[in-house]
Amino acid sequence: MPNSTNRRRFPRIPTTNAVLVEMLGDAAGEDLARTRNLSVTGCLFTSPRGFPTGSVVQLRIKVDSDVVEPVARVVYVIPRDDNAYDIGAEFLFIRDRDREAIAEFFDSISS
C-alpha cells in the first residue's frame, strides 16, 4: 500500500461501513463494498471489482443513520489474495452536510 501517512492533512479512521460504488459513465451498475478507513477527504474500501486508477466514482457510504455521497477519484488499486481489491479514493466533491456527518461520526466513535 502506498505510504501517504505523512502527506495526509486529515487522519483516516479505521471503520467498516457499507458503501455502494458506481463508476461514472459506466453502464456496469453499482458494486457493494466496505470501507476499511474513512476521513473527510477520502477513504479506503474493499470491492469485488477493481476500478481503473484515475477513474471517477460516485460513492454512497452508510455513516450511522446518514448516507454520504461524495464523488471520488480512484488513487490506487491493490489486488488482494481473496480476489477482491483494496481501493484508495480521494474525494473530489463532498457536500458540507456530508462532511459534517462524517465529522460527527468520528466524534461518536472516539468518545
**pLDDT value for 76:** 97
Of 89, 93, 75, the closest CA to residue 33 belongs to 89
* Helix, strand, coil content of the chain in percent (nearest 5): 15, 45, 35
Q: Span 50-78, mean pLDDT?
A: 95
For residue 8, pLDDT beyond 70: no
What percent of the chain has pLDDT above 90? 73
Q: Span 69-95, mean pLDDT?
A: 97
**pLDDT value for 5:** 47
**pLDDT value for 1:** 47
What architecture is the 8-110 domain classified under in CATH? Beta Barrel (2.40)
Question: CA-to-CA distance for 72 and 101, rounded, in angstroms?
Answer: 17
- The H-assigned helical ranges of 59-110 are 96-110
| Residue-wise pLDDT tens digits, 14-38 | 999 999 999 987 766 789 999 999 9
Any idea where the domains of the chain sit in the sequence? 8-110
**pLDDT value for 107:** 86
